Chains A and B, each alone.
Chain A
Amino acid sequence: MAANLQAEKRIRQRYRREQRFKALCIGAITLAILFIFVFFADIIQRGYTAFYQAQIQVEVTYDERSLEIPAAAVSEEVRPLVSRGFLRQVPGHVQSDPDLKGRTVTRWVTADTGVNQYLKDAHTGLSPQEKATVDKLHEAGRIEFAFNTNFFTRGDSKMPEMAGIKSAVVGTILTLAVTMAVAFPLGLMSAVYLEEFATDNRFTRFIEVNINNLAAVPSILYGLLGLAIFINFLGVPRSSALAGGLTLALMTLPIIIISTRAALRAVPDSIREGAFGVGASRLQMVTHHVLPLSLPGILTGSIIGMAQAMGETAPLLLVGMMAFIPSAPDGVTEPATVLPAQIFTWASMPQRAFDELTAAGILVLLAVLLTLNATAVLLRKRFERRW
């Protein structure tokens, strides 16, 4: 009887331990999931305000004096509340529309960042007097929030209310175009060689070890490579989309090779044997049968590789892609910046107003990356074939 009691006690103890361990596991995964929510809530809460912006209705006088001193175009009372970026454009307005000369026009213009910050209850550099003016105008309906079009249609600027992501988006597209133009064909050919053509010899094994190692090399070392070889040795222009794109291409190459090989390996050998059986050459077997069948898998891997290249910053900093780029680059050899680098530049700006821009830039970047990854997952789900 005593032995039985002891055994029961021990079993209860073991079950309690089991419960504890399971709770620990659930706790760990909950922590990880919780973090995702905290993270997204934090970034959204910091960034959503940047998508709207204060506008102020002022009377703009296009006379001789305001062409010389643009600040004189608006009355002294509202002058500190209007964005200096707008005032600089005043002579340009007259140039593009000569009829404006000598007239006074009432129009909605971008407000200064101080107004913006004040109305969003953030820290602001406005004087108490200016704050009173803002309150008065706000009540009169002459200061209102509107969608922040500057954020999407303008390049970088030292004035937060005028800064936008356009030049960074164009730079990102150019850089990724270079990256994929180099990495995709090279990666595809390497993978086809290793999976379909190569015999298992030393050279092949050496390449394999190499690729696996390259996939784990810290990305910043690719930046050192890009700086030393592409810029200093080959003379590619610094800060250009070409230099950044080539650097990222080398970094993306192993990812594409590894995923393409997995996709090729998923095609069963019976397909290859069937092709050989009707007299196809190796090249015909690959291009007519194996590649079309594995294309969804290859595309999935390439999209994931591209998404990774798109979020990469460190190697690009080393090849100079964190320059101040106010207008979008026209070609791959011109100085450019990319979205993550733009986020980094804004994050290191001293003005508080750049914080919300940084978070908004992050939201745009994350939206694009999540879309890319979701596309990859859908592609895999939709076209994946089990043999």
Chain B
Amino acid sequence: MSTGQIILSFLAGLLPLALLAYGLGRRRALTVAGGQDRALHSRPGFYGWYAVVLMAAPAVALALLAALLELLGLIDAPETLILAAALALAAGGLWTAERTIQPGLRARNIVEGAVRWLLITAASVSILTTLGILLSILLEAMRFFQMVNIWEFLTGTTWSPDTAFLGGAGRGGEGQAEAEFGSVPLFAGTFMITAIAMAVAVPIGLLSAIFLSEYAPLRVRGAVKPALEVLAGIPTVVYGFFAAITVAPLVVDVATALGLEASYQNALTPGIVMGIMIIPFISSLSDDVISAIPMRMREGSFALGATPSETIKHILLPAALPGIVSAFILGVSRALGETMIVVMAAGLRPNLTANPLESMTTVTVRIVDALTGDQEFSSPETLSAFALGLVLFLITLVLNTVALIIVRRFQQQYE
């Protein structure tokens, strides 16, 4: 039996049992109360749920424990045995529930407690996810750093993992150049594209937000805001296709007309398109903070004779600055981690240059490239993806945390 079938048969056994337990528990409660639910401590339904809890909790716990131990290789029991044990435990739990139901039993309190634990478990999944991301990336990155010096990885300026792949395939000769994992060109490309994206997104996004919150009549605002949200709903793979097939030739044509030489995989194209993608992000966050500024500040400024634009520049923007800065930081963090646009429109070749018309590659491109190839999982090139992911995770974590702190301070100011 495969794992999937085991899980399915476990659930298939548990669900009718739960239904049965609910019915039995409820009936039992009414029987012991002599058919009068006034005599019971809790509503009859709670006795049903009490039976379900007593039946399911031990069985599920046993099944999870066994699965975990088996996964870690500590025990090696046949699945059918575990299944039988869990179902036996369920039957035992049901029997105990039947025995213990009394009119004075505080079923409601017990069920409430059980539900609380269930909810806490669910809420902990998000912590487990963070831990999972951190651990999975960290462990594989450690394996990578056993092969490659961490200092070399952070400061090296040459990224050529291909020779490592050849070596892994047993084709590395004596005279072959050693693989180098210097990540500086990748990060240079990432930051270049991010900078271009922000140069597009911040002015357009911020001015749009100012227009929407300060100038636009209600009707215009009602029509334009959803339109901008459409922009936010477009999948990144679609932006990537648009960048590669429409914007890239356009950029090359314009560059040629200006007498410049541009590669079809230049860094400018993904930068511009990524900027467009981030516009709604910046504009909606900035719109929120500008709208949150109390009306009395605008009125005070108008009363002194300031024009709307003077009010915006001298009163509203300084007041909203923390919110706008945090929107900017969140935008940067998005651009750094954006994958599909750069995979489809930026180059694969690591290139340390300041010219945005040349082909550059980014961290995310190399992660995808390393993990969609057909190398062995333990080859340095594959593992390098996790090292890059680790750095990306740390950078975005710091940026997000800073942005959250700033925005919380801002909210407190006007509450």
Shortest CB-to-CB span from A187 to chain B, Å, is: 8
Shortest CB-to-CB span from B373 to chain A, Å, is: 12
Whether B122 pairs with A186 at a CB distance below 8 angstroms is yes
Knowing A224-B389, A228-B140, A283-B111, say if A250 contacts B129 (CB, 8 Å): yes
The residues of B that contact A29 with a CB separation of less than 8 Å are: 207-208, 211-212, 224
Select from chain A the residue with minimum beta-carbon distance to B403: A216
The residues of B that contact A31 with a CB separation of less than 8 Å are: 204
Give Cα distance in the complex from A25 to B393, angstroms: 35
For B280-310 the 0/1 string (1 means CB < 8 A from A) is 0001000000000000000000000001111
A262 contacts B by Cβ under 8 Å: no
Q: Taking each of A223, A224, A235, A344, which has the highest tally of chain B beta carbons within 10 Å of its own beta carbon?
A: A224
Shortest CB-to-CB span from A20 to chain B, Å, is: 8
The residues of A that contact B241 with a CB separation of less than 8 Å are: 343, 347, 358-359, 362
Shortest CB-to-CB span from A42 to chain B, Å, is: 5
The residues of B that contact A192 with a CB separation of less than 8 Å are: 119
A21 contacts B by Cβ under 8 Å: yes
For B371-415 the 0/1 string (1 means CB < 8 A from A) is 110000100000001100100110011001101100000000000
Give Cα distance in the complex from A229 to B115, angstroms: 28
The residues of A that contact B392 with a CB separation of less than 8 Å are: 218, 220-221
By size class, the interface of chain A is 35 or more
Shortest CB-to-CB span from A22 to chain B, Å, is: 6
User: Which residue of A24, A216, A224 contacts B333 across the interface (Cβ within 8 Å)?
Assistant: A216
Give Cα distance in the complex from A160 to B344, angstroms: 20
A148 contacts B by Cβ under 8 Å: no
Whether B137 pairs with A224 at a CB distance below 8 angstroms is yes
A63 contacts B by Cβ under 8 Å: no
Name which of B18-26, B27-35, B179-187, B242-250 contacts chain A: B242-250
**Interface size on B (CB < 8 Å)?**
90
Shortest CB-to-CB span from B63 to chain A, Å, is: 15
Whether A318 pairs with B368 at a CB distance below 8 angstroms is yes
Give Cα distance in the complex from A210 to B233, angstroms: 24
User: Which residue of A14, A33, A282, A320 contacts B227 across the interface (Cβ within 8 Å)?
Assistant: A33
B231 contacts A by Cβ under 8 Å: yes
Select from chain A the residue with minimum beta-carbon distance to B400: A216
Knowing A32-B231, A186-B125, A358-B241, say if A26 contacts B211 (CB, 8 Å): yes
A36 contacts B by Cβ under 8 Å: yes
Whether A343 pairs with B238 at a CB distance below 8 angstroms is yes
Select from chain A the residue with minimum beta-carbon distance to B239: A39
The residues of B that contact A344 with a CB separation of less than 8 Å are: 237, 240, 340, 343-344
Whether A340 pairs with B235 at a CB distance below 8 angstroms is yes
Whether B122 pairs with A190 at a CB distance below 8 angstroms is yes
Knowing A189-B123, A314-B236, say if A18 contacts B309 (CB, 8 Å): yes
The residues of A that contact B229 with a CB separation of less than 8 Å are: 373
B312 contacts A by Cβ under 8 Å: yes
A312 contacts B by Cβ under 8 Å: yes
The residues of B that contact A358 with a CB separation of less than 8 Å are: 241
For B332-352 the 0/1 string (1 means CB < 8 A from A) is 011011111001100000000
Whether B119 pairs with A190 at a CB distance below 8 angstroms is yes
Q: Taking each of B234, B283, B330, B372, which has the highest tally of chain A beta carbons within 10 Å of its own beta carbon?
A: B234
User: Which residue of B129, B228, B230, B235 contacts A214 across the interface (Cβ within 8 Å)?
Assistant: B129
Whether A25 pairs with B108 at a CB distance below 8 angstroms is no
A213 contacts B by Cβ under 8 Å: yes
User: Which residue of A15, A224, A233, A366 contacts B234 across the interface (Cβ within 8 Å)?
Assistant: A366
The residues of A that contact B207 with a CB separation of less than 8 Å are: 24-25, 27-29
Whether B309 pairs with A21 at a CB distance below 8 angstroms is yes
Knowing A24-B207, A314-B364, say if A17 contacts B307 (CB, 8 Å): yes
Give Cα distance in the complex from A229 to B139, angstroms: 11
A–B Cβ pairs within 8 angstroms, 12 of them: A26-B211, A189-B118, A192-B119, A193-B119, A197-B116, A235-B3, A314-B340, A333-B4, A341-B237, A355-B245, A358-B241, A369-B235
Taking A25-B208, A221-B133 as known contacts, 18 extra A-B pairs with beta carbons closer than 8 A to each other, sorted by chain A number, are A17-B309, A29-B207, A29-B208, A32-B208, A33-B227, A35-B276, A186-B125, A190-B125, A207-B124, A213-B130, A217-B393, A221-B337, A233-B71, A314-B343, A318-B371, A340-B235, A343-B237, A369-B235
